[in-house]
Amino acid sequence: MPTVLVVEDDHFVRSALIRHLTDAGHTVRSVGTALEALREVAQVGFDVVILDLGLPDLDGSEALKMLRGLSDVPVIVATARDDEAEIVRLLNAGADDYLVKPFSVEHLSARLGAVLRRARGGAAGEPAADARIRVGGLEIDARRRLALLDGGQLDLTRREFDLLAFLAARPGVVVPRRELLAEVWRQSYGDDQTIDVHLSWLRRKLGETAARPRYLHTLRGVGVKLEPPA
């Protein structure tokens, strides 16, 4: 039974969300402030967070950044801000999806289901759940969502694992950035900074740099490929 944290200060909206999510079979906890949300995420494991941006104690976008510092839990942002630049900024800041208020419970259910499927199944194009990938000294166990480098376990975030697994499943193949955004981030648009930041974090954990790559190779203006060290 999926567990959902609803972060919403409007009591009417919060009650309606709790009622709908409970009827849909979810276990629901709710809070009305960003600080309470951070405390809950730090202490309790959730499958997904629904985060309102108009919170009384802290702007929701700042709360999103702080949440990302605590956990990789999927976050659906609920916002009245429907301009494209703001939405792109939120997605790049770590939101997994967004809903523009007012939204229907059917729309919420569809988005929530999609986010939960992605979180449980990983990125599209990953290997079968019982498969293992080996590329040089890198080993990825998709079923256990475990990555090893030269026998040592890598401490990866959910998105880092998805990105690494997606590239490792295509060793030596240059994957365009647009494809990475579509398949790993499930975004039809965005900027390259999102990919570059995650590649930088991955390189650090793989013991390499952009100037001295071992596994991850960027072809400027084309895409990214993963291949074993020479």
> Residue 127: inside a domain, yes or no?
no
Domain encompassing residue 138: 132-226
- Single pTM value for the model: 0.57
Q: Which amino acid is at 28?
A: V
Query: What is the DSSP track for 96-107?
Result: SEEEESS--HHH
Cα 100 to Cα 44: distance, rounded to the nearest angstrom: 27
Same domain assignment for residues 199 and 154: yes
pLDDT for 130 equals: 44
Q: Where residue 188 falls among pLDDT bands split at 50, 70, 90?
A: low
Other C-beta atoms within 10 Å of 200: how many?
A: 12
* Tokens at 203, concatenated: 């390189």
How do residues 206-225 score in pLDDT, each as one tens digit? 999 999 999 999 988 788 99
Q: Does residue 137 sit in the same domain as residue 210?
A: yes
- CA–CA distance, 138 with 154 (Å, rounded to integer): 10
In a domain, 90, yes or no: yes
One domain, residues 112 and 140: no
Share of the chain above pLDDT 90, in %: 32
- Sheet strands (E) in 142-189: 146-149, 152-153, 175-176
Claim to verify: residue 108 and residue 26 sit in the same structural domain: yes
- 132-135/75-79 β-pairing: unpaired
pLDDT band at 187 (very low <50, low <70, confident <90, very high): low
**Number of compact structural domains in the chain:** 2
Domain boundary among 121, 151, 171: 121
| Statement to judge: residues 96 and 140 lie in one domain | no
Do 55 and 32 lie in a common domain? yes
Strand segments (E) across 53-174: 75-79, 97-100, 132-135, 138-141, 146-149, 152-153
Report the CATH number that the domain containing residue 11 is assigned in CATH: 3.40.50.2300
Assess contact for 166 and 130: CB atoms under 8 A: no
